[in-house]
Amino acid sequence: MARAVRGADAKPVTAYPAGLLPRRIAADILDRVLHRHVAFDEALHEQATRRDYAALPDRDRALVRVIAATVLRRLGTLRHLLGECLKTGIPADAPRLETVLLVGAAQILWLDVADHASVDLAVRLARADRGGNRYAGLVNAVLRRIAREGKARVAALDAPVLDTPGWLMARWTRNYGAQTARAIAVANAREPALDFTVKEDPSAWAHKLGGRVLPTGSVRAVVHGPISQLPGYSEGAWWVQDAAAALPARLLGNIRGRSVADLCAAPGGKTAQLAAAAAHVTAVDRSPARIERVRENLRRLKLTAELVTTDILEWQAGPFDAVLLDAPCSSTGTIRRHPDIPWLKRESDIAMLADLQRRLIARAAELVGSGGTLIYCTCSLEPEEGEAVVNEFLANRADFQRSRVSDHEIAGLGDCLNAEGDLRTLPCHLPDDDSRMAGLDGFYAARLERR
């Protein structure tokens, strides 16, 4: 049973049985995401500011994240199994009970945790909850059943479909075909490796980081432990950036000495790319906190850019030789890295975001000088936020034309180009025998030139 003790600063600190605290924190994060619709990264950051979390060793911090992420990746399957075990559903007077069961079941089915430990710690979590205390016996019975039958039951289920909200699967099937839609769902269920954009010598950094160089030039590695402790972090030799997210900036070609505006710039990966390519970069974002994050990243990387905090729709500047607009979107292309997205987004969000994107691309176009280049990109798989926005823009702007991307510009990955010559990466692209080393974020990018 947990007890209160006092640390050196005389503030009460809670002591927990071994292994219980990371499970409790994971449950707290999931409760925020699933019941209060808080983004996973935001909920994790909230916990990181608290003393209990800060006191955890690195291994337990990693466990918090992997438990919560696994639940979100497998939420549909987990809820299906719990529904089979709880014919009358979760008791109405113990709403947190579902979270406790999700945490326990995910460990039993997919994580390297002994079944008896998963069950015991889940029962302890239930007992510690005022509403769930009376249902500790139910938690014990359900999780013991899952330990006996769960893996066989999962094997008989169509997990990729269960773990993808129906509206998303229907959209992907309509837009990409049933086979590709299923491949996207399978890719989203896998924990990906980390991708790094390096300033120079990718081969050397791939060796130091224990990874490999991808055809696109990014370095990919399976990382254990805090990123800040990896070789090259303090020297500013690299930054974390999905390989697909690194492609749009490269479509500008040689930008040495050119003026480039990076719109909706935070967290700053593309700003860093542009600055490292010796462009004169102006990075713009409306959020002061997000601009501060760009500033911190540039400081570590020893790169420079002019930072502007403003609403792009009201910004008066330019003209620029090139403008890169990474527009706010539904982010459905990044589910493999952000497994909360399917459970936080709604189909109705897409039309609302597309309206904003149309206004943003129109404003971005006004910042492009004669003969200049506009890159429009989103991390969405939804054509309404990509191809449709660009096609409508071109239909209304005779002074702009599409500049087709060639496969040699993207390392010969011809499958990542659509019929119009725009970039369209999918999570199932870049396959690999090691599932951790496979895949890309779903990204769309079009290159437009002002006549």
Q: Which residues pair with 449 in a beta bridge?
A: 373, 401
- Average pLDDT across the chain, whole number: 94
Q: Is residue 9 predicted with pLDDT exceeding 50?
A: no
CA–CA dist 280, 305 (Å, integer): 7
The reported pTM is 0.92
Residue 183, helix vs strand vs coil? helix
Domains 3-157 and 194-450 share a fold: no
Res. 12 pLDDT band, cuts 50 70 90: very low
**CATH of range 3-157; options 1.10.940.10, 3.40.50.970, 1.25.40.10, 1.10.8.50:** 1.10.940.10
Q: Which residues contact 49 (CB under 8 A, 6 or more apart)?
A: none
**What are the residue boundaries of the structural domains of the chain, listed by start?**
3-157, 194-450
Catalytic residue status for 264: no
C-alpha distances out from residue 130 to 22, 26, 93, 101, 139, Å: 19, 18, 10, 16, 14
Catalytic-role residue among 329, 379, 416, 428:
379
Rg (CA), the chain: 24
Average pLDDT over residues 211-221: 97
DSSP state of 278: T
pLDDT at 88: 84
Question: For residue 130, what pLDDT band results from cuts at 50, 70 and 90?
Answer: confident
Own/partner contacts of 149-156, CB < 8 Å, gap of 24 or more, are 150/81, 150/105, 150/108, 150/109, 151/109, 153/81, 153/84, 154/77, 154/81, 154/109
Q: Given 3.40.50.2000, 3.40.50.150, 3.40.190.10, 3.30.1330.40, which CATH number is that of 194-450?
A: 3.40.50.150
First to last CA, the chain: 72
Place of tokens 């999905």: 242
pLDDT, tens digit, 9 for 90 and up, residues 276-326: 999 999 999 999 999 999 999 999 999 999 999 999 999 999 899 999 999
